[in-house]
Amino acid sequence: MHMKILLQIAIVFGICIIGDMISAVLPFAFPGSILAMLILLLLLISRLVKPAQLEETGSFLSKNMAFFFIPANVSVMEHFDIIGPVALQIIFISIVSMLATFAAAAYSAELAIFIQKKIAGAHTK
């Protein structure tokens, strides 16, 4: 059991390292973490990596996601003297961007469902 989890962690961290290495050699700035997620997506789509191979580690990371935000929150608190005067603007921008993201996700889902129904309807005729 422990070896299985260690293998899953090794796969995840290996993909992260590959993403960072690719990011380092690109002629433009691009986050290695985003590249790692794209690599993982491609590996999952191609079925070279199966979801079951990362299930325990993925579940653990999802359940403990708040833990990974602690360093960012500590940094915000350390620099509150800089952030304090513009806190209301930051809160306003955060709320507006959250609502815009929510709307975009909702309408994208509706569009995807509409397209799927159109495709399904075309196949039944």
Same domain, 76 and 120: yes
Q: What is the mean pLDDT of residues 54-71?
A: 86
Per DSSP (E only), the strands in the chain are: none
pLDDT confidence tier of residue 88, bands split at 50, 70 and 90: very high
CA–CA separation, 4 and 6 (whole Å): 5
Lowest mean pLDDT among 17-31, 59-73, 88-102, 105-119: 59-73
CA–CA separation, 17 and 23 (whole Å): 10
Say if CB 36 and CB 18 are below 8 A apart. Answer: yes
Same domain, 53 and 83: no
Q: Which of 31, 63, 95 is the last residue of a domain?
A: 63
CA–CA separation, 8 and 33 (whole Å): 17
Helix axes 2-25 and 32-45, enclosed angle (nearest 10): 120
Say if CB 18 and CB 39 are below 8 A apart. Answer: yes
Give how many domains the chain has, as a whole number.
Answer: 2
Q: What is the mean pLDDT of residues 55-83?
A: 86
Q: What is the mean pLDDT of residues 14-24?
A: 95
Q: Inform me whether the pLDDT recorded for 91 exceeds 90.
A: yes
Q: What is the mean pLDDT of residues 59-74?
A: 85
Residue type at 44 in one-letter notation: L
Same domain, 45 and 82: no
Q: Inform me whether the pLDDT recorded for 2 exceeds 80.
A: no
Same domain, 28 and 77: no
Q: Inform me whether the pLDDT recorded for 85 exceeds 80.
A: yes
pTM check: above 0.75: no
- Residue 19 belongs to domain spanning: 1-63
Same domain, 91 and 41: no
Helix axes 55-63 and 2-25, enclosed angle (nearest 10): 80
Specify the pLDDT at position 125: 62
